[in-house]
Structure 1
Amino acid sequence: VKKIPLRHSILMLAGVIVLSWITVSPAATFKDALGRTVTLKTPPKRIVSMAPSLTEILYYLGLEDRIAGVTQFSYYPPEAAQKPNVGSYINLNAERIVSLNPDLAIGTKDGNKPTTVRLLEQAGIPVYIVNPRNIEDVISTIYAIGELCGVGKRAKELSTRLGTRVKRICARTMSLKRPLVFLQINIKPIMTVNKNTFHHDVIRLAGGDNMARDEPITYPRISIEEVMRKGPDVIIISSMERGGSFERARKDWMKWSSIPAVKERRVHLINSDLLDRPSPRIVKGLETMARLIHPEVEWGR
């Protein structure tokens, strides 16, 4: 039997070790907001976003080329609307999602049905669930999704910038008197928000006092008489309705001159997308809200 020189044996052994390093890379594991373990063999290349806010986060992180599908109302940025549609975030089309051959789906606890999540997992698709409850959570979620998708460094930089903007607002409003704010989120019937909402967190951080914070219902109906009785200093209308009806809602309040906000002409409109979606734009919503609640502050650009 011909012997293999020792030098050649060492080289062959080294080659086997290197090959094993290349072919047997350890999978990465992540804990989602529900405490579930999500395992990814490699950074995902085909991602299905199961909520409009998640689509915005993926674009913010520069991952638009990896997005394989989005939900209805994923219209920001505008090019997101051109991505394959997988239904609404409440009524997802699981068959459509599977047909897109994703290697990751990202969903939300509020909205996405657990039955759909289970169907996707049974089809072998990893599903990562998020559950942000306030602005701080939104920023943490952006970083977590970046880590999940293999762009942790970029996500850390971007989330840090958002956090800096939030801290700047808080620093400017912390010592100021807190005006009573009525936030109207629906025109007919008139509806508002209690303390268990993103909207409340925005009002609080912007230096305002939410008029309906202690209401027992998350999104209560409020009568004009109740608003007149409580007398808010500022009225802000955030509605998905646009155009004439949106402006008419503001003009309707101007009839009630006994309300301090009306008397001081402090009835404002705000883009509901800046408040309703737990996405990077909620920080812009906070900055806009702070300017409306505290116009006396020199905010700069």
Structure 2
Amino acid sequence: MIWLLCIGAAAARGEVRVQDYQDRLVSLPKPAARIVALAPHVVENLYAAGAGDKIVGVVEYSDFPAAARHKARVGGHSAVSLEAIVALAPDLVIAWAAGTSSALVQRLLDLGITVYLDDPRRLADVARSLRDFGTLAGTASVSEPRARNYLRQLDTLRTQFVDKKPVTVLYQVWHEPLQTLNGKHIITDVIELCGGRNVFDDAVSLAPKISLEAVFQRNPDVIIASGMGTARPAWLDHWRRWPELRAVRNNHLYVVPADNIQRHTLRILSGARQMCAHLAAVRSAERR
């Protein structure tokens, strides 16, 4: 009861409060008016939450929607400038826990800058991020219906593939070095949504480098690549050198454009539908 009274008092004063992905209480005396976003997917989700006009700084590759390309840059994935962030006088920084240096986050906190740590690992987390961003920016009237619509579409997809025959999947991020994603990455949730099983779900690191021998040992039914941009990466067809692999022998080498599946945004539903269609093609071929 006391907790409810505190929340009510905070709302009356215009305060906003949410728990971030590391269970930290993030609070502001009023909705954020100047936000720095330290990952492209955070930028995209802020726009989806109705808070695009509150963004004052972004990182490299923040290119969706088009308006994001005109925001001030504060660095890239591996080198974010603390000085550039401070110069923008943000009242909120939204960082990606899996992709932002913990030392940078601590420096921001030491300077008294409020930081929200975003770290979506499951498909439902996209809706959570939208809702949190809407609360922090005071745009819940936009973020809430979009989050609900996203979850409705997600539930519809889930019911379509819940009882399908499992398909083993190698999701290939890159070719040199050969790289995939483990079971803690959101793309594994996409694979499982479609009735698939990530053959490297037990890998220790989030984006492990793997050997050709390990792929042969696990012998996936299908290889799905992302690469860069929307074009089919030429290196996907390098697998044809090894027809003894089940995926190669049956010509199950497919592509899902990276931006549709590797960004933790509303667009991941488009990538999920493409993933599900590829796994359905594998099942259909097995029935012939």
The bucket for the TM-score relative to the shorter chain is 0.7 to 0.9
Distance 1:106 1:223, change over 3 A: closer
- 1:278 is paired with a residue whose SS is coil
**TM-score, normalisation: structure 1:** 0.82
Tell me the equivalent position of 2:8.
none
Distance 1:223 1:113, change over 3 A: closer
- 2:62 is paired with a residue whose SS is coil
How far apart in 2 are the matches of 1:240 and 1:27? 41
Aligned pairs, number: 272
Q: Among 63, 67, 71, which residue is 1:75 paired with?
A: 63
**Cα shift at 1:284:** 2.0
Distance 1:255 1:26, change over 3 A: closer
How far apart in 2 are the matches of 1:223 and 1:114? 30
Correspondence 1:134 to 2:144: no
Tell me the equivalent position of 1:48.
36
- 1:294 is paired with a residue whose SS is helix
How far apart in 2 are the matches of 1:170 and 1:68? 37
Distance 1:217 1:142, change over 3 A: same
**Cα shift at 1:130:** 1.9
Correspondence 1:251 to 2:237: yes
How far apart in 2 are the matches of 1:248 and 1:92? 32
Tell me the equivalent position of 2:225.
237
How far apart in 1 are the matches of 2:137 and 2:259? 25
Tell me the equivalent position of 1:266.
252
Deviations 1:34-84 (A, max 9, x none): 333333222222211111110010111232211111011111223312110
Correspondence 1:279 to 2:279: no
Deviations 1:256-280 (A, max 9, x none): 2222222222101221222322222
How far apart in 2 are the matches of 1:47 and 1:100? 9
How far apart in 2 are the matches of 1:288 and 1:242? 13
| One-letter amino acid of the structure 1 residue matched with residue 224 of structure 2 | I
Superposed counterparts of 1:96-111, under 5 Å: 96-111=84-99
Contact 1:91 1:112 in 2 (8 A): no
Deviations 1:149-180 (A, max 9, x none): 11223212111111112111111111110111
Tell me the equivalent position of 1:289.
275
- 1:239 is paired with a residue whose SS is coil
Bigger Rg, structure 1 or 2: 1
| One-letter amino acid of the structure 1 residue matched with residue 250 of structure 2 | E
Runs (4+) off by over 6 Å: none
**Cα shift at 1:223:** 3.3
Unaligned runs of 5+ in 1: 1-23
Distance 1:241 1:44, change over 3 A: closer
Superposed counterparts of 1:160-171, under 5 Å: 160-171=148-159
**Cα shift at 1:242:** 7.2
Correspondence 1:211 to 2:199: yes
Distance 1:195 1:78, change over 3 A: same
Deviations 1:19-45 (A, max 9, x none): xxxxx9353333323333333222222
| One-letter amino acid of the structure 2 residue matched with residue 258 of structure 1 | E
Unaligned runs of 5+ in 2: 1-11
Contact 1:181 1:209 in 2 (8 A): yes
Tell me the equivalent position of 1:6.
none
Tell me how large the CA RMSD over aligned residues is: 2.3
How far apart in 1 are the matches of 2:101 and 2:205? 22
**TM-score, normalisation: structure 2:** 0.85
